[in-house]
A and B are shown apart, each in its own frame.
Chain A
Amino acid sequence: MTPGVSVLAEVAALPVAAVNWHSFFFVLFAALACGFAVAVVAADNVVRMALYLVLSLGATAGLFFLAGAEFVGAMQLMIYVGGTLVLLVFGVMLTAQEPLVSIKGSGRDRVLAGIVGAALLAVLLQAAFSVRVWREPAAGVVSDPAATPIGMSLVGVRVDEPPAGGPVAAKRPGYLLPFEIVSVHLLVVLVGAAYLARAKRRKTPRAIEVAASVEPPAAVAEHAAIGRSRSAGGSVLTGGRS
């Protein structure tokens, strides 16, 4: 036991002991988030792009947890990663035919995007480090439970900045109305999206069916062109029906 403890004392004397673990995990999650975001831009295969996006947003949820916003972090995992990205991956799977999986952009576009992106990044970084208040962190705060204050702020009771008369006496307008508006908005959007993406009865076969019946990819472009002209005519024909 004693030799083990002395070895551990030697290990403890290393600068490892000075590491701020909150910062260590921040650097880890930030590196993952930024790295996978750049990988999304760099990847050509759309399925891999989707995977990198999932990992990037998962790391962002970890960043939210580290900043103390636990409710927002859990919501990011559930809604963004578990809902929106599953939807995206479904879309990728439905459209991931062989010639479409890796479509490369032109070189000129990339150079232009690179220049604009680098310029914007420089401006944002300079802005981030320019405000003194943003550079000096606090000494460390007791962890506050995150879910109850958000719930209470919906009805206007703000416990994070209690005004003079106590949180209940001095009520502020709550977030309930925007919450209801967003709920109705989501309902309308989903009904609209379901209507937009429904399978329609058509008089002429859709371009996708025409394309699927011919195997070689060289013919796909030709049929896509045919399909476009056909769908232009077809939509006039079926405009009254669908």
Chain B
Amino acid sequence: MADFLINTVGLPGWLAWTVTAVVAAALILNVIAGGALVFIWAERKIAGRIQDRLGPTRTGGKFGWLQSLADGIKLLAKEDLMPDGADGMLFRLAPYVSFCASFCAFIALPFAFDFVGQRMNVGVFFVIAVLGLEVFGVILAGYASASKWSLFGAMREAAQVVSYEVPLGMCVVVPVMLAGSMDLVTIAEKQAGWFTNWYLFHDPFTFVIFWVYVTCAVASVNRAPFDLAEAESELVAGFHTEYSGLRWSYFFMAEYGSMFLVSALAAILFMGGWNGPVPIATIVGLSEGTGDTANYFVRLLGMANLLGKATLGVLVMMWIRWTLPRLRIDQVMTTCLKYCTPLAAAMFLGAMLWQVVLPGGLMPRFGRPAGEVREGWLPGPGGGGAPRSLDAGKVAQVKS
């Protein structure tokens, strides 16, 4: 987009890059905020239906479409309280830390082939690392609330999130190993074609790893059945007991943003990302190129595909929340240390051996992309020489 602004509109370089950055940030913020809006409504409707009732039906017509808006207005209008013994600076800072961690992880998340905030060579690693920073907001909130229950909830949640990062990391390494790159765009591109190309169906070990990933991701974002940090029946509301109004809504948006993020990550790592179960674009005849209108349409289609998969993941998380009972903290830790971690390690070993013995994968690869996406590091067929320059824009920026 910056090139478009520089060449067509005639803006100077620095202004074009700034405008591009602002637009990208605004788009990502809208994904999180708009997503939160939709998911709040969806959560209440799904919760209602699972509990054999209707959910919101009054605000905005028969299906309660405007319930989220009403909730938002209510939160904005609430009184902004701060407990007496609370550490003022930390109390005010905590929601922003949590939200920033959730938001920053979206920088590296690609929505389609070229729709990524910053295409990083270590994309997967960056996302997992930044997701782990959300725990600081929680700890600060729990401590600064000057309340025993908030501190308990915060400590439990911190222990849970940090423990589950270990099996989460191991689960994430398997698709990285299969793709040969930590770049999220590369991982998704290698799954182009029909759904048989998806890493989910690559080998049985990866299939099991996917379910371990789902468990660890649900634990990592503190959704039921792992939500004792905000256990409504035990700790009032855990670490965000003392937060009201807009401050609380930041925690809420951080939680829904993280849910969407781990679902989108699952879609990219295991389910082909923006490459659908059926390669519509290739069937219809549109091809990938650079700077074409049809190309742009293909990418929009891919983005809609990814958003659909991520939304499906979030809806499944909500379904699980309202179906399964909550686990105790010792059961949560047992699940992590005694079940998820050894299972993830064993499956990782299995997937690694599978790559050595049977590198092609289990399913026949229909619709495999014509050119292999390869980084040419070593001399060999189809590659060789110096690595491709990933982003010419970066050179221009460093030089300017």
Seen from chain A, the residues whose Cβ lies within 8 Å of a Cβ on chain B are 5, 8-9, 11-12, 16-17, 19-22, 45, 47-48, 51, 54, 58, 70-71, 74-75, 77-78, 81-83, 85-86, 89-90, 93, 96, 139-149, 152, 157, 159, 166-168
Indicate if the CB atoms of A51 and B90 lie closer than 8 Å. Answer: yes
Can you show 13 pairs from A to B with CB atoms below 8 A apart? A5-B10, A8-B12, A8-B15, A21-B400, A22-B398, A45-B87, A70-B126, A77-B132, A78-B125, A90-B155, A146-B121, A148-B377, A168-B378
Which of B14, B87, B181: most chain A CB closer than 10 A?
B14
Question: Could you tell me the distance between the alpha carbons of A139 and B396 in the complex, rounded to whole angstroms?
Answer: 11
CB neighbours (8 Å) of B165 from chain A are 82
- B128 contacts partner chain A, Cβ-Cβ < 8 Å: yes
User: Which chain B residue lies CB-closest to A87?
Assistant: B162
Indicate if the CB atoms of A16 and B182 lie closer than 8 Å. Answer: no
CB neighbours (8 Å) of A142 from chain B are 389, 394-395
Question: Could you tell me the distance between the alpha carbons of A82 and B139 in the complex, rounded to whole angstroms?
Answer: 12
Indicate if the CB atoms of A5 and B129 lie closer than 8 Å. Answer: no
Contact (A54, B14) CB under 8 Å given A70-B122, A141-B398: no
- B151 contacts partner chain A, Cβ-Cβ < 8 Å: yes
Indicate if the CB atoms of B129 and A78 lie closer than 8 Å. Answer: yes
- B375 contacts partner chain A, Cβ-Cβ < 8 Å: yes
Indicate if the CB atoms of A74 and B129 lie closer than 8 Å. Answer: yes
CB neighbours (8 Å) of A47 from chain B are 87, 90, 143
Contact (A93, B139) CB under 8 Å given A8-B12, A70-B121, A82-B129: yes
Question: Could you tell me the distance between the alpha carbons of A187 and B182 in the complex, rounded to whole angstroms?
Answer: 26
Contact (A12, B15) CB under 8 Å given A93-B151, A142-B395: yes
CB neighbours (8 Å) of B162 from chain A are 82-83, 86
Indicate if the CB atoms of B121 and A147 lie closer than 8 Å. Answer: yes
- B322 contacts partner chain A, Cβ-Cβ < 8 Å: no
CB neighbours (8 Å) of A152 from chain B are 377
Q: Which of B130, B143, B182, B378 contacts A147 (CB 8 A)?
A: B182
CB neighbours (8 Å) of B182 from chain A are 147
- B387 contacts partner chain A, Cβ-Cβ < 8 Å: yes
- Nearest first, the 8 closest Cβ-Cβ pairs linking A and B are A78-B129, A82-B132, A12-B12, A140-B398, A145-B121, A77-B129, A140-B399, A74-B125
Q: Which of A75, A86, A139 contacts B135 (CB 8 A)?
A: A86
Indicate if the CB atoms of B375 and A148 lie closer than 8 Å. Answer: yes
Question: Could you tell me the distance between the alpha carbons of A66 and B136 in the complex, rounded to whole angstroms?
Answer: 24
CB neighbours (8 Å) of A74 from chain B are 122, 125-126, 129
Indicate if the CB atoms of A77 and B399 lie closer than 8 Å. Answer: no
Question: Could you tell me the distance between the alpha carbons of A8 and B15 in the complex, rounded to whole angstroms?
Answer: 8
CB neighbours (8 Å) of B9 from chain A are 5
Main secondary structure of the interface of A (DSSP, over half): helix
Closest approach, in angstroms, between the C-beta of A229 and any C-beta of chain B? 32
Contact (A21, B17) CB under 8 Å given A82-B132, A145-B387: yes
- B89 contacts partner chain A, Cβ-Cβ < 8 Å: yes
Q: Which of A16, A93, A145 contacts B14 (CB 8 A)?
A: A16
Question: Could you tell me the distance between the alpha carbons of A222 and B15 in the complex, rounded to whole angstroms?
Answer: 65
Q: Which of B89, B379, B391 contacts A166 (CB 8 A)?
A: B379
Question: Could you tell me the distance between the alpha carbons of A140 and B12 in the complex, rounded to whole angstroms?
Answer: 20
User: Which chain B residue lies CB-closest to A19?
Assistant: B14
Indicate if the CB atoms of B143 and A48 lie closer than 8 Å. Answer: no
Q: Could you list 14 further interchain pairs (A-B, Cβ under 8 angstroms) beyond the known A5-B10, A51-B90, A147-B181?
A: A8-B11, A9-B12, A12-B12, A16-B14, A54-B136, A74-B122, A77-B129, A77-B130, A78-B125, A82-B129, A83-B132, A86-B136, A139-B399, A141-B398
CB neighbours (8 Å) of A81 from chain B are 129, 133
- B140 contacts partner chain A, Cβ-Cβ < 8 Å: yes
Q: Which of B121, B133, B155 contacts A82 (CB 8 A)?
A: B133
B209-251 to A contact mask, C-beta < 8 Å, 1/0: 0000000000000000000000000000000000000000000
User: Which chain A residue lies CB-closest to B142?
Assistant: A93
Question: Could you tell me the distance between the alpha carbons of A50 and B140 in the complex, rounded to whole angstroms?
Answer: 10
Question: Could you tell me the distance between the alpha carbons of A241 and B130 in the complex, rounded to whole angstroms?
Answer: 44
Question: Could you tell me the distance between the alpha carbons of A140 and B391 in the complex, rounded to whole angstroms?
Answer: 13
User: Which chain B residue lies CB-closest to A150?
Assistant: B122
- B390 contacts partner chain A, Cβ-Cβ < 8 Å: yes
Q: Which of A22, A147, A166 contacts B122 (CB 8 A)?
A: A147
Which of A19, A143, A146, A166: most chain B CB closer than 10 A?
A143
Question: Could you tell me the distance between the alpha carbons of A70 and B118 in the complex, rounded to whole angstroms?
Answer: 12
Closest approach, in angstroms, between the C-beta of B178 and any C-beta of chain A? 15
Question: Could you tell me the distance between the alpha carbons of A12 and B19 in the complex, rounded to whole angstroms?
Answer: 13
Q: Which of B132, B139, B375 contacts A89 (CB 8 A)?
A: B139
Contact (A93, B155) CB under 8 Å given A142-B389, A167-B378: yes
CB neighbours (8 Å) of B389 from chain A are 142-143
B14-34 to A contact mask, C-beta < 8 Å, 1/0: 110100000000000000000
Indicate if the CB atoms of B133 and A144 lie closer than 8 Å. Answer: no
User: Which chain B residue lies CB-closest to A77?
Assistant: B129
Question: Could you tell me the distance between the alpha carbons of A147 and B390 in the complex, rounded to whole angstroms?
Answer: 14
- B158 contacts partner chain A, Cβ-Cβ < 8 Å: yes
Q: Which of B90, B122, B151, B395 contacts A143 (CB 8 A)?
A: B395
User: Which chain B residue lies CB-closest to A13?
Assistant: B12
User: Which chain B residue lies CB-closest to A81?
Assistant: B133
Indicate if the CB atoms of B143 and A71 lie closer than 8 Å. Answer: no
User: Which chain B residue lies CB-closest to A169?
Assistant: B379
